[in-house]
Structures are given as structure tokens and as C-alpha cells.
Chain A
Amino acid sequence: MTPALSAWNLGKRFHRVWGLRHCTLTIPEGAIVGLVGPNAAGKSALLALAAGLLAPTEGSLAVLGRDPLAEPAVLAEVGFLPQGAPLYRSFTVSQATEFARRTNPRWDAEIVAGMLERLSPHTKVGTLSTGDRTQLALALVLGKWPRLLLLDEPFAGLDPFACREFLQLLMEGVALISPTVVIASHVMADIERVCDGVVLLAEGRVRLEGQVESLLESHRVLLGPRRPIGAIRGVREIVRERHSGRQLTLLVEVDGPVLDPSWVVERVSLEELLLAYISPDRLRTPKPSEGIPLQWHG
């Protein structure tokens, strides 16, 4: 099965700054993936490249098996919700719907109508709240029955209620259409709820990539008295080491049960895990990509 999105050594430079570098990843069809990382991590750049709005500086990428720049027809199957949902503000809701209907070969009017029940068709897009406008943009992008759905920071500017409403709508659409979904967000809380997999970007590079469940299973937090540590049985690698006073906290990758009685073992939340991989106090220095894409990157 062709992956929905794949990138090989993808890089994008903006003037002198590399927004994205050495990005290699594969997102299988049907997955719901969270693309997370701090601001300016390269998330928007990656999505813009996938949507055919930017040309790579180096490397390559394939969307549903095709290059979006060479074969722009593939965009008929890609639903892109840009940051800020920049719909035409002078259009009314019904005109915006008509615009989407007429510029796409596939259209499901029923799905769209169902999602827009709350909005009056004659309201101008420019007068909608951010939450409503984002929901409208979501409905329009789902109406084209995309095989790949790209959402760039959809939660920006949304209060918690609007966030929840948006996610409900999104998941309902996903249940109906079963697209591959990539959500870029620096808000990690909702990602865990909704995503099967996660890709962590920081400073333009992929730091971590994998299934949420297996990542949570393969990491633990170890608490113990502060002392020099040797090898701990069951621990494959120490991801982050913190100490305060007389306590030592380690976030570790494990490859077996940690039975050492001198450590208290706890599970880690996804947010903690991701933050640990972003922060620079890693003990290992990053190595350049080792040929075959690994789960860890630097």
C-alpha cells in the first residue's frame, strides 16, 4: 500500500534559515498522526510542502505516491486546512461552500450540510468567529472526500469549547471517510486523545517518530536518590536526566521490565515524553541520518 505521505531527506530553506532539514518519515494510509513540536519547528513548512505550496530545497516527498508539484491533480484528493483558515472573507457561508464544490471533482453535499447546521448560509465568512470559520473550513475540506487530510494548527485561537467541538466534528468526519490525517499542533494535550502516531519536529528536524501506544510502553520515568548511575537492567537509553536536591529523575527508554528495587518506576505521559525529546539536555550528541530511517533522530 502506498504510504499517504513520505519524505526522504526533505529540506526547505527560507532565505538563509533552514525551516526543515533532513526530514525522513513515512505516514501509512489510514493513520491519524500528530505532528508536534514547538513554534518554528518546521511543522507548517512540512504541511505546505505536502500541499504543493512550497518547493523543496533538497530531498523529495510523495503525497499518495505522487509529487504534488509535478502532478498537481493529486491535490484533488488532499484536504488542506491552512493555519488561520484563510477563506475568502467576502463570501457568505453558502458561497464558500459553492466555491469548494465547483473547484473539486468529488463533493459530498450531505456531509457538509450536516456539519454546517449551526451556521446561517448567508453569514459572511469575515464576520464568523475563529472557531466557526475553522469549522466551516473543516466541513469544506471534508466535503471533497480527501484521502489525505492535513491540518495546520487548527486549534490556534480556539477556546477549549471550540477545540472540543472541532475535534468532535473532525473525528466524526474521519469515522465516515477514513482518510489519513496529519494534525500539526503545538498543543499536545488533544493529540494523545486522537492520534495513533506522532512525529516530533524541533528546529526543523525529526526528533521522534512512532506509534503513541508503543512509545508510551517503551518509556518510563525512574525516580531515585541522587547518585552516580551505572547501567540499569531493562533500561536501553537515558533520554533525560534531571536532579533536584537529593532526588534524581530519569526519563528512560526501556527494552524490558525494570526490576531494580532502588528505583521507583512510573509511566510517562505523552506530553512529558515529547518535551523530553525536544529539550537539549540529552546525553547523546546527534548523529547524522544513518541511512535507514530510524525511530530516533538525533
Chain B
Amino acid sequence: MAWVTWQQHRAQLFVGVSLLAALAVAAIGTHIPIAAAYSHEALPYCLPPSERAGCDLLVARFQEEFGSWATVVRGLAVLPALAGLFVGAPLLAREFEHGTYRVAWTQGVTRRGWLLSKSALLALATIVVAGLTSLLVMWWREPFDALEGRMAPSAFDVEGLVVPAYAVFALAVGVLAGLVLRRTVAAMTATLVVFVAVRVLVLVFLRPRFMTARHQTVLPSATGARSTEWVLSDTLVDAGGKQVSAPRENLAILHAHQASVDPQTYVDSLGWKRIVSYQPAGRFWTFQLLEAGLFFSLALAITAVAVWLVRRTPA
């Protein structure tokens, strides 16, 4: 089956590797000015929680200069879905559409063996390509990660172990969608919808709760402090600990203006505080393991369902 899988999917592998190569070239090319600016501006001395004078300005300029590239890299979060859309979904859907399953499933290889071998080999290739992409992104984002941290979703989702995990999950969803829907376009659509839905659900409801969030109380005036943590919430509370509503906050600022007093200092004097809940940067790899583990397990379960279902599919 290795030969068969290779013959049928080597074009896809070629595209994947070419994509990776193109990314690598772009990464290397863009990294040179970034690295130069980073060291030239002595930004290593501005890493949080440093409070050195002028750092805010330097960092802001750095982020502005290379911000567009960083945004593009964030967009790479869509890459894992491609494994599902273009490798997983057509796998079975195309066999049904072209009728070739009538040949493939009447040879000496059983249906289950056929699907299992193909899925395993394709998953392996997917992990390798996705893993290399992840390494590439991590290397490229080093200066940014140092300045902003990598716990926030914009960095977390494109680095580390989760990238191959997302890709293998998408692949499995695609295969099952192709088996059930039997039409390539429908399967691709379903794969995309499911992939996005699950990712969003995990991101919004599960990841913040992987470990208990930490809390920090800070002065209201201490806004703009840079950190590498993943801030989950930032609430303004009064001296009694009750959350301050927006109208009440606006009223206070109005009073401050009327009294010709700096609003920030005024709010501090009221005894109001900000409670920040966050996940610290040190938990990056733990969270990566947990989320990657979750998605790999989902991929395994979905593949098991597909392998079980394929024998029961009257064609």
C-alpha cells in the first residue's frame, strides 16, 4: 500500500513541499532586515518586563515597521486546514465520484486495510510537513516572541506542536467527510466548517481553562505595560471590589475633567483597581502539549470511526 499511496498522492506531497520551500525562502528573505533592526535598535534590552526609558517608543516603531509581515504570519493559521481540504476530503470522495472504488475495493487488500494504510501514511507526511512549517515560523518569530510573548493566539496557533496536530485533525475530518458525503466539494465544505468550529470552540472555551488562570491587581493608571502573558480579562473594580460599569467610569472621568485633574490619578485616588487574569508565558509548552494532545486524540478517534464505517458503507 505504500507504493499505491505514494503513486496516488505524490503530486499533493510535491505541492506541500513546494509551499514549504516558498515559505522558507520568504522567511529567510524577510528575516534579514528584522534581525538587523532588532539588534541595531538594541531591542534585546527592551524585553518585558523592562521599563527602560525609550523602550516603548523603540518597540512601537519596530512593531510598526514589520507589523504587516507579522500579520501575514498569523494568517498561516489557515495552513493546517489545507491538509483536510485538499488531501483528506478528496481521498474517498473522489473514489466515489469516479467509481474507482469498484476497482480499489475488489482486490486482495481489504477496505479497512486500504483506508488504514493510506490514512497512516498521509498522516505521517502531514505531520512532517506541518512540523517543518511550525519550526520555520518559530525561528522567524523569535524577535516578536521575545517582545510580545507567544501565549496569545496569534502566535500560539502557528508555533509548536499544535500545528501538526491541527493538520492531522483536519486530515481525519476530511477523510470522514469524504466517506459520508461522497462528493468532493461537499466534503471540503464540511471539513472547513467542522475544522473552524472545533478550533474556535477549543480556543474560546477550553484553552483558557487548561490551567487555572492567575490574577494580578494593578493600578488603573498602569495601562500600556508590556508583557509576554496571555491576558484573558482586564476588569476595573472599585475600592469595594465591585466591577465598575462603563457609565460609572465615564462619570468619574467627567468629574476629573471638571476638576481639572488628570483622570488617571483621580481614578487611582478613588481606590479603584484593575484585576487582570492571565496565563503566564511559562506555561507555553504545557498548553501546547495539552492542545496538541487533544487534537491528535480527536484525529485518532475520527479515523477509527472512518475505518469502522468504511466496511459498512454500501456503495
Contacts and interface: CB of A to CB of B under 8 A. Distances in A.
A/B: CB atoms within 8 Å of each other:
yes
Given A86-B98, A95-B7, A99-B7, A72 B110 contact: yes
Interface in A87-115: 87-91, 95, 98-100, 102-106
Contact of B99 (A51, A73, A82): A82
A95 B4 CA distance: 9
Given A53-B102, A86-B98, A89-B98, A103 B7 contact: no
Contacts of B106: 51-53, 75, 78, 80, 82
A76 interface: yes
Main secondary structure on A side of the interface with B: loop
| Residue in A53, A55, A99, A103 with the greatest tally of chain B CB atoms within 10 Å | A103
Given A53-B106, A75-B108, A104-B108, A84 B99 contact: yes
A284 B101 CA distance: 43
A105 B109 CA distance: 9
B107 interface: yes
A178 to B, nearest CB: 20
Given A53-B315, A54-B315, A82-B99, A88 B8 contact: yes
A51 B98 CA distance: 18
A144 interface: yes
Interface string B92-130: 000000111111111111110000000000000000000
Interface string B224-265: 000000000000000000000000000000000000000000
Contact of B107 (A55, A69, A76, A82): A76
B102 A86 contact: yes
A22 to B, nearest CB: 20
B3 A102 contact: yes
Contacts of A69: 311
Contacts of B311: 69, 72
Given A53-B315, A55-B314, A88-B8, A103 B99 contact: no
Given A86-B99, A88-B100, A91-B7, A105 B108 contact: yes
B313 to A, nearest CB: 9
Contacts of B312: 55
Contacts of A55: 312, 314
Contacts of A105: 108
Contacts, number: 73
B103 A144 contact: no
Contacts of B105: 52-53, 75
Interface residues of B, number: 23
Interface in A51-71: 51-55, 69
A54 B106 CA distance: 12
Given A86-B98, A89-B98, A98-B3, A72 B107 contact: no
| Residue in B1, B103, B311 with the greatest tally of chain A CB atoms within 10 Å | B103
A117 to B, nearest CB: 22
A282 B315 CA distance: 36
Contact of A73 (B102, B104, B110): B110
| Residue in B102, B105, B109 with the greatest tally of chain A CB atoms within 10 Å | B102
A137 B103 CA distance: 9
Nearest to A55: B314
Given A95-B7, A98-B3, A99-B4, A104 B102 contact: no
A88 B5 CA distance: 13
Contacts of B8: 88, 90
Contacts of A103: 1, 4, 104, 107-109
A84 B98 CA distance: 10
A76 B108 contact: yes
B81 to A, nearest CB: 25
Contacts of A54: 314-315
Contacts of A90: 8
Contacts of B3: 98, 102
A280 B260 CA distance: 104
B108 A86 contact: no
A99 B1 CA distance: 9
Contact of A82 (B4, B103, B110): B103
Contacts of A100: 107
A87 to B, nearest CB: 6
Given A53-B105, A53-B106, A103-B4, A72 B111 contact: yes
A86 B99 CA distance: 6
Contacts of B1: 102-103
A156 B106 CA distance: 21
Nearest to B7: A95
A102 B4 contact: yes
A124 to B, nearest CB: 13
Nearest to B108: A76
A127 B1 CA distance: 25
Lowest 8 CB-CB distances: which A-B pairs, in order?
A76-B108, A82-B102, A86-B99, A103-B107, A104-B108, A80-B106, A72-B110, A103-B109
22 contacts: A51-B102, A52-B106, A53-B102, A53-B106, A53-B315, A54-B314, A73-B108, A73-B110, A75-B105, A78-B106, A80-B103, A82-B99, A82-B106, A88-B103, A98-B7, A100-B107, A102-B1, A103-B104, A103-B108, A106-B108, A137-B103, A144-B108
Given A72-B110, A82-B106, A144-B107, 5 more contacts: A75-B107, A82-B102, A82-B103, A98-B7, A144-B108
